[in-house]
Structures are given as structure tokens and as C-alpha cells.
Amino acid sequence: MDEQYLKDVFPQLELIKDAAIKNAVINTYLKAAEMGGWDTLEGIPFTLLIDTQITFAEHTKAVTDMALSLGEIMQHFVSITMDYLIAGGLLHDVGKLLEYERKGGKVVKSRHGELLRHPVSGAVIAAEQGLPPEVIHIIVAHSKEGEAVKRIPEAIIIHHCDFVHFESVKG
């Protein structure tokens, strides 16, 4: 996995205007993939909770695209930093690269995943790569871990887009 691969998989990266944020998003993916032993995102399911053919990359793009649409509307009512929103959408599940592992031809929960859920792992790696606290907040607050904090508008959007996608496809 390299920078060009990620740009091909996630064309939304090009919508991030701040070069430092864009590079940190890429580096977060590269570090998570290295730590989790992934050389591609191909074949990684977006969830292990339901039987689905929807991949991690497809889910990530869907959540990011939904968030972009909502962000465009909501920025007329509240302050939305689109670079944070895009980065948060692309990275909300990056910790799954540590939470999951391929074993016996299947993707299963790893030992790491048994100990730390993906919002925590993803937030730690994102912080190490120098992402702003707002993006780290989006990652850690997008799931149930976020119930204990006051979410910023960008985190509210990612949280709801993530659950709209999951709830809609689980049937």
C-alpha cells in the first residue's frame, strides 16, 4: 500500500485543501496498514457484525460522500470545517486495520481488536501522525465511545452518516 494506491481508492483525498491534513490522513492509513499487516484494502469487510459484501473502502467512501453532502447544507447554519469533515470521514474506521486480521482466508477480529475498539486505535494513530484534535475527536466520537462527549458538528455528521449506512444495509 502506498500514497498513490490510497489516492486511487479514496479520490475524496483530493478535496482536502490543507496539504498537512491530507498528508497526515495518508500517513495514518499507511501506519495503520503497516501495523495491521495489510498491503491492500481489497476484501476487508466494513463490519463483522453482519454478513455483507460491502467492503471497508466502499463504506468509507459512502460515509465520506454522505458527510460531504450534509456538510455543504449544514455550513449555512453552523461552522463546518470541510477538511476536518473529509478527513474524519476517511479515517473514522481506520482503526479497523488493527481491529481485524486475515486468518485462514477469513477476516476476523484480532487480539488487538479484542482489547481496543477501532475508534480508539484510529484516534491514537491519527494523533501520532499530527492530525488536529478536531479530526481525532471525529474518529473517537463516531461510534458509541462518542456518547460520553459533546460532539462537534463534524463528528455529529460522521456519526450519523456511519449509522445511516450501517442500519440501511443490515436489513
What's the pTM? Answer: 0.96
DSSP letters for the chain: --HHHHHHH-GGGGG---HHHHHHHHHHHHHHHHHHT-S--TT-BS-SSS----BHHHHHHHHHHHHHHHHHHHTTTS---HHHHHHHHHHTTTTHHHHEEEETTEEEE-HHHHHS-HHHHHHHHHHHTT--HHHHHHHHHSSGGGGGS---HHHHHHHHHHHHHHHHHH-
For the beta carbon of residue 100, count every other beta carbon within 10 angstroms: 22
Give me the mean pLDDT over the 9-36 stretch: 99
Per-residue pLDDT tens digits for 86-121 = 999 999 999 999 999 999 999 999 999 999 999 999
Q: What is the pLDDT of residue 138?
A: 98
Percent pLDDT > 90 in the chain is 95
Q: What is the pLDDT of residue 150?
A: 96
Q: Are 66 and 60 in contact (CB under 8 A)?
A: no
Residue 62 clears pLDDT 90, i.e. is over it: yes
Q: What is the pLDDT of residue 144?
A: 87
Domains of the chain, earliest start first: 3-170 (1.10.3210)
Q: What is the pLDDT of residue 123?
A: 98
For the beta carbon of residue 84, count every other beta carbon within 10 angstroms: 25
Q: What is the pLDDT of residue 70?
A: 98
For 43, left (φ over 0), alpha (ψ -120 to 50), or beta? left
